[in-house]
Chains A and B, each alone.
Chain A
Amino acid sequence: MLSPRRVSQVLVAAVALLVGLLGSVVPGQAAVVRPAAAGPASDPCYVLIQVSPGVFEYVNICPDPDEDGGGGDGGEGGGGPRCDLTEEPYDEFCLGTKACRADIPSPLPESEWPEAHRPSPDHIFTFVQCRVPGQDELYERWRWIEPYEGALPGLGWQALGRLQTPAFTMSFTPAGMTYVGADTQYSIDGLGDGEIIGSVAGPLQATGTLSHVEIDPGDGSEFLECEPDLEERSRGCEHVYLQMSHDQTTEDFEGRPGFAAQARLVYDVTFTMGGVEVNLPGVPDTLESPWNGTVVPVGEIQALVRTR
């Protein structure tokens, strides 16, 4: 026989089971309405992002039920695309059955990304637009996405932009003033160890290795390329001026007219993703620093010219 107490026990158990089941069936959406999710940090779906200075927008970053197991990784998991990627520009990747494009690089600065919800270091937070089958309206959301292969060049440009060439100075010997026919040697200071590493752009990181220094002697002769010697500053950067600089308009600090010599640093750039080097077609593999220079007054000493 079922006593009233027994009945109520069964009922409680059934309700508990049902709640448990519901909770696991719709993980993302159900979690939002869970009363226990009190603090903003504990809510898995809704985050606040600053889409413009002082302007905040609530964003549901959870994958829709039609998307494979979440993650928003372009639906690569389950045997080929499940969406129709033939209509431009919504031909970049699938989110479930939606055909999508994304703003890459992200229009939102990385400092505004909801970092706590980042599925993996390879994901970027950006604006996504999708064509939904059988629907006129576009699906537009801010989402974490894992950049698909074709997006890498776009990120490569961003990674390249994060490489900063060092502020260097250029000097020459004989110090202060050189002479027609003499070996004038240029020195570059501030090269560091010759390697520059950029901050990460999505999954990509760019690294620059100093390849050579390009020097314009300023007297109309061809540019020189010299090998940087990081130990003893830059060796082998030599030039022989064949004319005096008295008629030049540029002057050094002491007011002597001189040739406006300048130098720039040329770096070989490599891109890595998760520590593995990747090749990005269309993205430059060299990076040049801005020109920086010095004024080289060139005089004439007969004796010096003769001994040479």
Chain B
Amino acid sequence: MSGSFPRAGRRFTVGLACILAVTACSGDGDAGEPAAPEPTATVTENPASQAEEAIRTVFEQFMDAVVEAQSGRSDDPAALFEGLATEATIEFNAGIATRYADQGIVRVGEPVITDVNVQVVSSSGVVSACMDESAWSPELVTGEAIPPAEEQLTPHPIVYEVVNADGSWLIGDAIEPGGTITC
């Protein structure tokens, strides 16, 4: 295989990150929705929770960038991800946006992200969440709706690797949730 397209296949080999994902998500099911912001409110001095807070912020900005990139409003989708994601993830997302532009597809609205969960081990970690895409509809630029697929109508888990590069956190490859998260 040659060429510049980011390999989807590579993203399925996740090694350590996958193990982290398991631990990250095992507590998710019973924790319920409001559990997310609590730890940072109580232990602000803890470096681990500071990292967690930073990752939550980056993840939120990253998802905003994904929505913006696929909305068709941006001329330079790669720039939206600057400082938020690794090179490979930027290329991957910019690729989707470019193909959407070519094919006249836009995504209207935005997904609902819930149950954000962060696990950090020194300079890497995993962020997981539930994504409901039912209010983030695909359309053609002509205004015609593309029938949404079944996968979009129910919340599904997403898991991303996060890496620390020069002191700031970046969203890395998407990794297989592995059935440990229920949304």
Q: Which residues on A are within 8 Å of B, measured CB to CB? A: 32-33, 37-40, 42-43, 46-48, 50-60, 89, 101, 103-105, 107-109, 127, 129, 139-142, 154
Q: Which one, B11, B105, B150, B151, contacts A60 given CB within 8 A? A: B105
For the complex with contacts A101-B2, A127-B3, 8 further pairs of A-B residues with Cβ separation under 8 Å are A32-B146, A48-B149, A48-B152, A51-B8, A58-B146, A103-B5, A107-B1, A109-B9
Residues of A within 8 A of B142 (CB): 33
Main secondary structure of the interface of B (DSSP, over half): mixed
Residues of A within 8 A of B103 (CB): 58-60, 141
Residues of B within 8 A of A57 (CB): 96, 99
Contact, CB under 8 Å: B98 / A54:
no
Tell me if B144 is interfacial: C-beta within 8 Å of chain A. Answer: yes
Q: In angstroms, how far is the closest chain B Cβ from the Cβ of A123?
A: 18
For this complex, 16 residue pairs linking A to B, each with C-beta atoms less than 8 Å apart, are A33-B144, A40-B150, A51-B8, A51-B96, A53-B159, A54-B157, A58-B100, A89-B3, A103-B3, A105-B1, A107-B7, A108-B8, A109-B12, A139-B102, A140-B5, A140-B95
Q: In angstroms, how far is the closest chain B Cβ from the Cβ of A227?
A: 39
Contact, CB under 8 Å: A52 / B11:
yes
Interface size, B (range): 35 or more
Residues of A within 8 A of B3 (CB): 89, 101, 103, 127, 129
Q: How long is the Cα–Cα vector from A129 to B157 in the complex, in angstroms? A: 30
Contact, CB under 8 Å: B144 / A32:
yes
Tell me if B110 is interfacial: C-beta within 8 Å of chain A. Answer: no
If A39-B147, A43-B146, A140-B95 touch, whether A56 touches B133 (CB-CB below 8 Å) is yes
Q: How long is the Cα–Cα vector from A109 to B103 in the complex, in angstroms? A: 23
Give chain B interface residues in 128-166, CB to chain A under 8 Å.
Answer: 131, 133, 138, 140, 142, 144, 146-152, 156-159
In the complex, number of A-B residue pairs with CB atoms less than 8 Å apart? 101
Q: In angstroms, how far is the closest chain A Cβ from the Cβ of B181?
A: 10
Residues of B within 8 A of A50 (CB): 151
Residues of A within 8 A of B174 (CB): 52-55
If A58-B146, A60-B105, A89-B3 touch, whether A53 touches B151 (CB-CB below 8 Å) is no
Give chain B interface residues in 1-44, CB to chain A under 8 Å.
Answer: 1-5, 7-12
Q: How long is the Cα–Cα vector from A39 to B150 in the complex, in angstroms? A: 9
Residue of A with least CB distance to B92:
A52
Q: Which residues on B are within 8 Å of A, measured CB to CB? A: 1-5, 7-12, 92, 95-96, 98-100, 102-103, 105, 131, 133, 138, 140, 142, 144, 146-152, 156-159, 173-177
Residue of A with least CB distance to B1:
A103
Contact, CB under 8 Å: A40 / B12:
no
If A60-B105, A107-B5 touch, whether A54 touches B177 (CB-CB below 8 Å) is yes
If A33-B142, A48-B152 touch, whether A107 touches B8 (CB-CB below 8 Å) is yes
Query: Which of A48, A55, A89 neighbours the largest number of chain B CB atoms within 10 Å of its CB?
Result: A55
Q: How long is the Cα–Cα vector from A42 to B147 in the complex, in angstroms? A: 9
Residues of A within 8 A of B140 (CB): 32-33
Residues of A within 8 A of B92 (CB): 51-52
Residue of A with least CB distance to B158:
A54
Q: How long is the Cα–Cα vector from A49 to B21 in the complex, in angstroms? A: 23
Q: In angstroms, how far is the closest chain A Cβ from the Cβ of B27?
A: 19
